[in-house]
Amino acid sequence: MVKQVEISLPSMGRGYHLITHHVLKAIGDLPQTGIMHVFIKHTSAGLTLNENADPSVRRDFETFMNDLVPDGYHKFTHTMEGEDDMSAHLKSSIIGQSVTIPITGGRPNLGTWQGIYLCEFRNYAGSRKIVITVYGE
């Protein structure tokens, strides 16, 4: 069995946003065993798995990534779309554009405190397109 859906998430603003519920609602029933692959179709946002309980983790992600790759870095030349343009592309490459999750017993086999994050690196981003593909039996 292969199942694939594409969803558009509403603009969520800059930051790290839990989207696990959006993904699971969109894909519907899962097979008993398999793999779920979640992919974002953008170069200035990313996806990752991490802490889903304490919001301070999401704030610390934002703080660290902004220190690592600051907006408006004076050596950037790709700046047509603003000071957050090139830094967003670099952060997207550092974090990555996809996550893969095993499916066990018809449920995503995530750890107790794991959730899927949309990592939004632009100050004024629009909606984001996510492709969810499930392989299983």
Q: What is the pLDDT of residues 72-88, one digit of tens each?
A: 999 999 999 999 999 99
Domain ranges of the chain: 2-136
Q: Which long-range contacts (CB under 8 A, 24 or more apart) does 68-72 make?
A: 68/94, 69/94
Q: In whole angstroms, what is the distance from residue 43 CA to residue 50 CA?
A: 20
Q: In whole angstroms, what is the distance from residue 34 CA to residue 47 CA?
A: 20
CATH topology of domain 2-136: Jelly Rolls (2.60.120)
CB-CB contact of 131 with 39 (8 Å): yes
What pTM value is reported for the model?
Answer: 0.96
Provide the terminal-to-terminal Cα distance of the chain, rounded to the nearest Å: 6
Position 106 scores a pLDDT of 98
Q: How confident is the model at residue 30 (pLDDT cuts 50, 70, 90)?
A: very high
Position 23 scores a pLDDT of 98
What are the backbone angles phi and psi of residue 27, rounded to the nearest 5°? Answer: -85, -25
DSSP state of 10: P
Q: In whole angstroms, what is the distance from residue 62 CA to residue 60 CA?
A: 5
